[in-house]
Structure formats: C-alpha cells, structure tokens
Copies of this chain bind each other. A is one copy, B any other.
Amino acid sequence: MNLHQFRFVQEAVRRNLNLTETAKALYTSQPGISKAIIELEEELGLEIFERHGKRLRRVTEPGQLVLRAVEIIMREVANLQRIGEEYSKQEAGTLSIATTHTQARYFLPEPVAALRRKYPRVQVVLHQGTPRQVAQMLRDDVAEIGLATEALAEVDDLVTLPCYEWQHVIVVPAQHALAAVERPTLEQLAAEPLVSYHPTFTGRSRIDQAFARARLKPTFALEAIDADVIKTYVRVGMGVGIVAELAMRDDPPGGDLVARPVGHLFGSNVTRVAFKRGAYLRQFVLTFVESLSDRLTGSLIQRAMSGNPVHYDL
C-alpha cells in the first residue's frame, strides 16, 4: 500500500475510469497506473473496479468504501503540505479561489487586495466557472476555497458559510420608461425583453421561481454569465437587465444606466464561501475567509470545519 496507489485510484475515478487520461494527468506512464491499481487490489484482496474485458466499467461496492478512505487520506496529505507551507515559508504561499464572475469582478477585489496588503508574499489564483464547476474544483483540490451564490450549499463534502446577502436590481437606460418607476412589478418586467444571467448563475433561479409562481413567461433576449456583458447589451437597447446589486455599485447615480432594487420581486440571495470538509486552513486563508463577512469569526469557521452545523443570521 502506498500513496501513489491512492492518488492513481482517486484520479482514475475523477477521469471516469480512463487510465490513459489518468496517466496523462499525473505525468506518468499508463502501464504504471494499471499495475499500481492492480497491486493495491491484490493487497486488499478485493476489486476496486469492475472490469469488462480489459476496460474499467465501474466502481465496485467495496471500491466505494476504499474510495472514501482514499479521499480522506489524500485530503490529509494535502493538509500536510499546507502545514508545511504555513510553517516553512512563513506568511507566504498560494491561495486558489474558485468563484463565479460576479464574485471575482465585484466582490472579491476588495478582500483580495486586503489579503495582499496584509500578506504581500501570498499569491492568489482565481479560477472562474459556473457554481457547479466551483464545487467540483473544490472537490478536485483545484481550489482551496470557493465563493458562489448557487449550488455550494447542496454539496455534501463541502463546508459552507454564508458571506453576505444581496438582492437583484433591474437596469435600464436613463431614458427607458421603467427608469421612472420606483417599484416595478413582475408584470411590468414580463412585458419587456429581459437580459440577465444564465440559468445556473448568480441567483437566476430566484428570478425564474418568481415568474413561475406568478404564472408569467418572460422573454429573455440574452443570457450571460457576466453583468458587464449584460449592461453592455442593456445600453444598446436589447432590453431590461436584471443583475446583482453589487454589479451596479460602481455606476454613478447620474450615469447612462438607472438601477432599481427588485428584492420585493425576487427575494434575497445569500452568497456563500465553501471549502472541502476537513481541509487545513492556513492562517492567511483563515484571515481571508474572516474578512469576507463581519459575522465570520475564526472560531465559527473552526466549528464549521469540525463538522458541527453553524447557524447564524447575517
């Protein structure tokens, strides 16, 4: 039994049981992978993978149990490396953050800058993707912490904590009829072509739910993952934009676009920070996570990490 075998098995599962791809991903030879896995199976006296001829078809029942143990082992190996980083290169290291465009563009700049001010030798890597991809990047150890409004809370092996609460705003050109309406209604919006996020992004689910409850079928003229794109199309008259309020923060009140809060229509959303259950958080990571919300304290984070559910109001 050795750590290589564990890594191979884990990566093989992540690569859909394709050992050739696994070998490429781990920069080693394919026969080496094959042999190592077979030897582990022999040592344990069970088959981790069900084989059909010479192809791996699926994970066996005992294989599932093996996999769970392997996940924990590899997690702790990663933790050991982080502990090493923390204590050898004091206050230096790399923080990989997986997040959506909205957070990367509008929310994270400030806390990331603060992190760099406090720890100038820390390097930050941003990985952008859909909320589901964010979750997957955490599971695959591509990123250490994740930030998104959707999806994260549903993933079982992630620990999530609420960061901040926000609502949607509609955005229209200053001369648009709705620019003068203080509290637009769902009916008014449904009558216009809309420009908003892709269905899996940034609270879009709340928007769809609200329209569905009112039995309205709005027209989406354009869907994007990105408020900057949405605003651009609103400017050229494609329709009424619906974006996160955060995305309008930097637009001056007297500018060419007018924003109206529509929390009364779509409710409020909670953006969450997540990390893999059991991950070791270095000091600067802890500091960073704390900086994401006034209510997040180190002890609260530790409590959440240890598996206890954490409840508090934002």
* Contact between B46 and A83, CB atoms less than 8 A apart: yes
In the complex, what distance in Å separates the CA atom of A86 from the CA atom of B61? 12
Contact with B along A55-74 (1 / 0, CB 8 A): 00000011001100110110
A192 → chain B, closest Cβ, in Å? 50
Q: Pick the contact of A62: B72, B87, B89 (CB < 8 A).
A: B87
28 contacts between A and B (CB under 8 A): A2-B2, A2-B3, A3-B3, A43-B84, A44-B80, A44-B81, A44-B83, A44-B84, A45-B85, A45-B88, A46-B83, A46-B87, A62-B86, A62-B87, A65-B83, A66-B80, A66-B83, A69-B76, A69-B77, A69-B80, A69-B83, A70-B80, A72-B72, A72-B76, A73-B76, A73-B77, A76-B76, A307-B307
Q: Is A79 an interface residue (CB 8 A)?
A: yes
The 8 closest A-B pairs by CB, nearest first: A45-B88, A44-B84, A62-B87, A46-B87, A69-B76, A65-B83, A45-B84, A72-B76
Q: Is A26 an interface residue (CB 8 A)?
A: no
Size class of A's contact patch?
A: 20 to 34
Q: Is A155 an interface residue (CB 8 A)?
A: no
A76 → chain B, closest Cβ, in Å? 4
Q: Is A280 an interface residue (CB 8 A)?
A: yes
Residues of chain A from 249 to 306 with CB closer than 8 A to chain B in the complex: 280
Q: Is A1 an interface residue (CB 8 A)?
A: yes
* Contact between B44 and A62, CB atoms less than 8 A apart: no
